[in-house]
Amino acid sequence: METAAGPFQGFAVRKHGKIHGFVDRCPHMGLPLAWKPHAYLTPRADFMMCSRHGALFTIEDGRCVGGPCVGYALARWPLEICDGWVVTL
Ligand code: FES
Mean pLDDT of all residues in 57-77: 98
Mutation test residue for ligand 1: of 11, 22, 28, the one with most atoms within 8 Å of CB: 28
| CA 53 to mean position of chain CA atoms | 15
* Nearest-angstrom CA–CA distance, 89 and 80: 7
Query: 5: pLDDT confidence band, cut at 50, 70 and 90?
Result: low
Pairing mode, strands 18-23 and 10-15: antiparallel
pLDDT of residue 7: 82
How high is the mean pLDDT of the chain? 93
Please say if the pLDDT value at position 50 is more than 90.
Answer: yes
Mean pLDDT of all residues in 61-81: 97
pLDDT of residue 2: 61
Number of domains in the chain: 1
Mean pLDDT of all residues in 56-60: 98
Measure 69 CA to ligand 1 centroid, in angstroms.
8
Domain that holds residue 44: 2-88
Is the CB of 52 inside a 6 Å radius of any atom of ligand 1? yes
CATH at residue 47: 2.102.10.10
pLDDT of residue 65: 98
